[in-house]
Amino acid sequence: MYHHIKQLMYTVRIGTPDPRFGNMLLEQFGGANGELAAAMQYSIQGLNCDDPARKDLLMDIGTEELSHLEIVGALARMHLKPMKTNRQAAETDPLVAIAGGGGVTLCNSMGNAWTADYLKVTGELDVDLRSNIAAEARAKIVYERLINFCDDPGTKDALQFLMTREITHLKAFMAALESMGKDPLVIGEIPPTPGIVEQFYNDSTGQGDDGDIDARGPWNEANGVRFIASVAQPIAAATEVEVTREIHNAVRRRLTSPAKSSRSKPAR
């Protein structure tokens, strides 16, 4: 059940409206990393979630994102408003001015319609939480850029609040993922093929004209990773029969396990 309260989650006050900036704000209204995408992603993940504790987390944050959508909408509308009557302002974005009457629509800053394709919903809780951590990081950096391009103190203040909440959510999703106690490299049930999984292929080689280097680091030479210098046919340490047997075992384990290990006890 959703209930609307006629009050913004954070008070929004702006100085002189800036239609160009209002247009940029639409990125966080109907854009790929915007508030509607966040609200829908977490809420739909929550609907699909069998883990009661983490379902509660997803619904809490998904609902807060709707309140953020309302703040961004209010903010964008204030900045876009001159487009209703002012020809020069309308020229900033004819789509918003002529088709939308100087108000907000579910489009990004380039006028592209919002799409459910923005959403990452896999039905695998740990995978979804990773997507959410990345989504919050993207939203944070978009808000930071908006703040950097903004001169109006009131607008900056509201954007600072929204940016801060992204970090709060980032922390919550990270803690939820960690509390599942899953090995971060175990995704799903079927194990990767031994031998191949440890190989790092140096597929971008040589020295570039702009000083591009062939780098080495912990990603390609530590933690059991084997650096393969030349492009090679991947050769598995396990035979095809062994790999097939592992896959069958994993499927059997999944079918016979009473409940997912990630399931946690409900809060008392």
Residues lying near Fe ion in the complex (CB under 5 A) = 65, 68
Nearest residue relative to Fe ion (C-beta): 68
Write the CB contacts of 158 (distance below 8 Å, at least 6 apart in sequence).
10, 11, 12, 71, 75
Report the distance separating Cα 119 and Cα 125, nearest Å. 14
Task: Confirm if 125 and 177 have CB atoms less than 8 A apart.
Answer: no
Report the distance separating Cα 2 and Cα 64, nearest Å. 11
State in angstroms the smallest separation of the CB of 162 from Fe ion.
Answer: 6
Q: Which is nearer to Fe ion, 84 or 138 (CB)?
A: 138
Q: Which is nearer to Fe ion, 68 or 130 (CB)?
A: 68
Q: Which is nearer to Fe ion, 27 or 65 (CB)?
A: 65
- Residue 76: closest CA among 34, 114, 138: 34
- Residue 139: closest CA among 244, 229, 46, 27: 27
Q: Which is nearer to Fe ion, 67 or 86 (CB)?
A: 67
Task: Confirm if 76 and 96 have CB atoms less than 8 A apart.
Answer: no
- Residue 198: closest CA among 207, 185, 208: 185
> At 165, phi and psi to the nearest 5?
-65, -30
Task: Confirm if 186 and 78 have CB atoms less than 8 A apart.
Answer: no
State in angstroms the smallest separation of the CB of 61 from Fe ion.
Answer: 8
State in angstroms the smallest separation of the CB of 149 from Fe ion.
Answer: 19
Q: Which is nearer to Fe ion, 57 or 89 (CB)?
A: 57
Q: Which is nearer to Fe ion, 65 or 70 (CB)?
A: 65
For residue 59, give Cα distances in angstroms to 55, 66, 70, 207, 237.
6, 11, 17, 49, 44
CA atoms within 13 A on the CB side of 124: 10
State in angstroms the smallest separation of the CB of 243 from Fe ion.
Answer: 43
State in angstroms the smallest separation of the CB of 235 from Fe ion.
Answer: 47
Task: Confirm if 255 and 173 have CB atoms less than 8 A apart.
Answer: no
State in angstroms the smallest separation of the CB of 72 from Fe ion.
Answer: 8
Q: Which is nearer to Fe ion, 71 or 97 (CB)?
A: 71
